[in-house]
Structures are given as structure tokens and as C-alpha cells.
Structure 1
Amino acid sequence: MSGSRLPSHLGYIAVEGVIGAGKTTLARMLASQAEGRLVLEEFEDNPFLGQFYSDRARWALQTQLAFLASRFKQQKALATRDLFHPHVVADYTFDKDRIFAHVTLEGDERRLYDTLYDIMEPAAPVPDLVVYLRSSVDRLLHNVALRGRSYETNMDRAYLAELTDAYDRYFFHYTKSPLLIVDASRIDFVKEPETFTELVRQVSTVRGGTAYFNPPETMQLGF
């Protein structure tokens, strides 16, 4: 993707959203645009993930703790900036771990998780900008089906709806860094380059608080 690089003040951009929102695709495109370093969540290294989708109650704690450890390790590495890549773009934030945990865990398991999270969270770098891809459950299910991961074959619609509500609640109160909320229910950054170009322009102008990118109808696609 040609075009100007991102502003220097955006050293660390994190793309967030529910499963299937298009985080990794957009993170790749932004990293390419910025000629920056791309950091992707290592979800496939979680040995409990397949079992979690088969039996959430049984495997939630193991899955969540494995994610917490992996994400913390990556976040500590992010604290050391790469002199050859002034921009870093990640397809998740450390905060997402607690969002998921508060959906999947209850009682003593949640309290154990929160204790560990509270120890680790201060060491995680805060993004200079978070891009939150907000999408409909129908679009999330569509995207999950398209990518065809075996362990997501029977993705629970109610689970995605619950996660969407949890994300919305979290980002409604988010103040750690500038936030750009993108209506991603009916857009495709790959098929519609002009939409991505406009998003980059929006990203470049966010300096604080919460901003919104609602693509006009001419930029939106059906699915």
C-alpha cells in the first residue's frame, strides 16, 4: 500500500476487536504502511485453545493463564523499541486478556486470574493509539467461517455476542490512550483500498480522547 508513513508520535499502535473482526489483516496493512514492526498474537501456541472451544467451563482457566503468560512475554519485549522500526503495530492489547477472562471465568478462578493480571499489567506498555474494530455478530461469524480454523468450526454465536458486549463496555470507559472506534461491520480494507486510505488519514489525525470512523455508504460492502 503506497502513501505517506504514519506520524512519528504513533510509535505503538494496537488494533483490537472481537474474534473475527479483522484485527490481524488491518495490523498487517498498517505495519506495511508505516514500514514498521508487526507484532501478532501467538494464539496458535496455546495448547488449551482447541479444548476450550469444546468445553469452555472445563478449560477456561488453563486457556486464559496460558494466554496471559504468552501476552505478558510479548508485551515485555515491546517495551524495548526497535531503532530500525520507529513504528510498532500489534493485533491485540494486553487489556484484551482481562476482557476475555471476565467473560470466561467466575468466582475463585477469576480472583486468581485478577491477582496475576494486576501483578503483570503495570509492566505492559500503553499504546499511543488503539484502533477498535467494532463489528456485528453476523459479520464476525462470516469472517470466522471464511478463515476456516478447525477449532473455530462450531463457534458459539452467544459467545461472540457476549464478547461483543464486553468489548463495548470496556471501550466505552477506555481512557488509557487515544482511541479510534471503527464501524467494521460492512467494510473490507483489502477489497476497498480507498477505505483503508481514509482510515490511515483518520489514524493520523487522532491526538487524544475517543474518535469515530464510520465509513460512508459508498465505502461499505455487503457480505
Structure 2
Amino acid sequence: MSPRPPALPSHLGYVAVEGVIGAGKTTLARMLADRAGGRLVLEEFEDNPFLGTFYQDRDRWAFQTQLAFLASRFRQQKALGARDLFAPHVVADYTFDKDRIFAHVTLSGDELRLYESLYGLMETAAPVPDLVVYLRSSVDRLLHNVALRGRAYEADMDRDYLAELSEAYDRYFFHYTRSPLLIVDASRIDFVGEPATFEELVRQMASVRGGTSYFNPPRTMQLAF
């Protein structure tokens, strides 16, 4: 049996996994935290009382939904400042930046201006990840993954909304400079079913020291989808 590849290196104390709805953020974050023996931080999206109604009427409920997420994410981000001495790595399935990406898709006018004022007050208190892993995926794959997990409020997920979010994420992360960034082509790969893909991703993450890097898995690692 070949030796297990090493866990995350010490310079990656805080890793955040990002991507559009259905990209596989939570799955990958769980796998990385398990590999590193680290603390897992998951977004508390199910605690948002407006999320279900938002998907039914986005224009009516976008502002309430966004403010509830902003408060929840800020509370979690502040808590990240208290690192667990027994868990040298923290892995999260979102970044604080995510909140602003969504806000610029769902809000406009006075609501967006008020949101920006609140976000600006909170942003400086949120810790910056040592590495962000951005999972890019096709809209078809995102819809497939959303359908598989079977959340009731996502049952009628709008394709155009996912496409708009994908474009917003690309615009943001293609110009991202706050921390080292690894952009992963996740449209046709399976981290769970293909262990070699996950192991190679961990190696790619360990090699990132700054700037933006890309992981485009070879064809033999790709999922036929």
C-alpha cells in the first residue's frame, strides 16, 4: 500500500472553498477538513428564515434574505479569529466575499447602497483566507447536483439565475487578489468517486504560494457527465 499523501501544509491555516450553488463546496470542505484533522466551518444557510420565500419571489424577499445572510456570515467570520489550538487548520465552505457577490446579483438601488454601507463596516473584521479554492462548474452540472441533493426550496431552481450567479462569480474571482487563489475546473470531476482527483487537488493546493493558480484535471480524472 502506497503511503497516504500529507495533510495540508502549515502555511494553509485557513482555507475557504467557493463556488456557485451546487458546485460541491461543502463536500470538498468536509473532505479537506477530514484530511487535515481541522475545524470545519459550514455556512448556516438553513437558519435563514427568508430563504424559502426568496426562491419563490426573489424581487420581494431579496433584501431580507441578504441581510440575514450578512449577519450570519459576519458572526461566523468573527468567530474564526479564535483559532482552535488543537485544530491547526480551518476549512470553510464559503468566504465572506460571497455575500457581496450575491448582493450585486439580487439587489439594486437604495437597497444595494444600504447593503454596501453595512458590508463595508463588517468587511475589515473578517479574516482573509490563506487560500481560496474556487470550484468553477457548468450550469448543467450545477443543476444536476442541486437536483441530486433534493432540497425542497431548491426544487424549482431557475437556470437563468444560476447562469447569472456563475457570471458574477467569474467576474469576481478572475480579478481576485486578496489571497492566494486556486481555480478548479469542477464541471466534470468527482472528488468522492475518484480518489486520485482529490489527492491531486490536495497536492495542487499545497504548491500554491501566491497569486492565482489553475487546476484543470486531465481527461483520465474527469467524470463522464
Per the normalisation by structure 1, the TM-score is 0.99
Distance, in Å, in 2 between the alignment partners of 1:160 and 1:79 is 32
The reply to whether residue 55 of structure 1 matches residue 77 of structure 2 is no
Which among 155, 163, 166 is matched to residue 165 of structure 2? 163
Q: Is the 1:3–1:33 Cα contact (8 Å) retained in structure 2? A: no
- Corresponding residue for residue 22 of structure 1: 24
Give 1:74-93 correspondences, 5 Å limit.
74-93=76-95
Aligned equivalents of 1:195, 1:165: Cα separation in 2: 26
Give the superposition deviation at 1:4.
1.2
Measured after TM superposition, the shift of residue 148 of structure 1 is 0.2
Where 2:124 maps in the other structure, the secondary structure is helix
Kindly state the Cα deviation for residue 74 of structure 1 after the two structures are TM-superposed. 0.1
User: Displacement of 1:80 after TM fit?
Assistant: 1.1
Distance in 2, matches of 1:206 and 1:24, equals: 21
Q: Quote the residue 1:116 is aligned against.
A: 118
Match of 2:67 in 1: 65
CA deviation after TM superposition for structure 1 residue 50, in Å: 0.2
Q: Which runs of 4+ in 1 moved over 2 A?
A: none
Q: How does 1:128-207 map to 2 (within 5 A)?
A: 128-207=130-209
1:24-39 to 2 correspondence within 5 Å?
A: 24-39=26-41
- For 1:106, the equivalent position in structure 2 comes to 108
Shift of 1:94: 0.2
Q: Distance in 2 between matches of 1:83 and 1:199?
A: 26
Match of 2:224 in 1: 222
Specify the code of the residue in structure 2 equivalent to 1:54: Q
The letter for the 2-side match of 1:19 is I
- Deviations for 1:153-186, whole angstroms, at most 9, x for unmatched residues? 0000000000000000000110000000000000
Alpha-carbon distance in structure 2 between the residues aligned to 1:63 and 1:97: 11
Alignment partners' CA distance in 2, 1:127 and 1:33: 18
Identity rate of aligned residues, in percent? 82
In 2, the alpha carbon distance for the partners of 1:20 and 1:169 equals 18
Match of 2:11 among 4, 9, 12: 9
Aligned to 1:210: 212
Shift of 1:222: 1.6
User: 2:99 corresponds to which letter in structure 1?
Assistant: D
TM-superposed deviation, 1:204: 0.3
RMSD: 0.5
TM-score (ref. length: structure 2): 0.98
Report the Cα distance in structure 2 between the residues aligned to 1:41 and 1:169, rounded to whole angstroms.
22
Q: Give the 3-state SS of the residue equivalent to 2:184 in structure 1.
A: strand
**Shift in Å, 1:3:** 3.1
Task: Give, in angstroms, the shift of residue 63 of structure 1.
Answer: 0.2
- Offset from partner CA, 1:80-134 (integer Å, 9 cap, x none): 1110000000000000000000000000000010000000000000000000000
Do 1:36 and 1:87's aligned partners in 2 also have CA atoms closer than 8 Å?
Answer: yes
- The one-letter code sitting in structure 2 at the alignment partner of 1:109 is E
Distance in 2, matches of 1:3 and 1:86, equals: 18
Paired residues in the alignment total: 222
SS in 2 for 1:125: coil
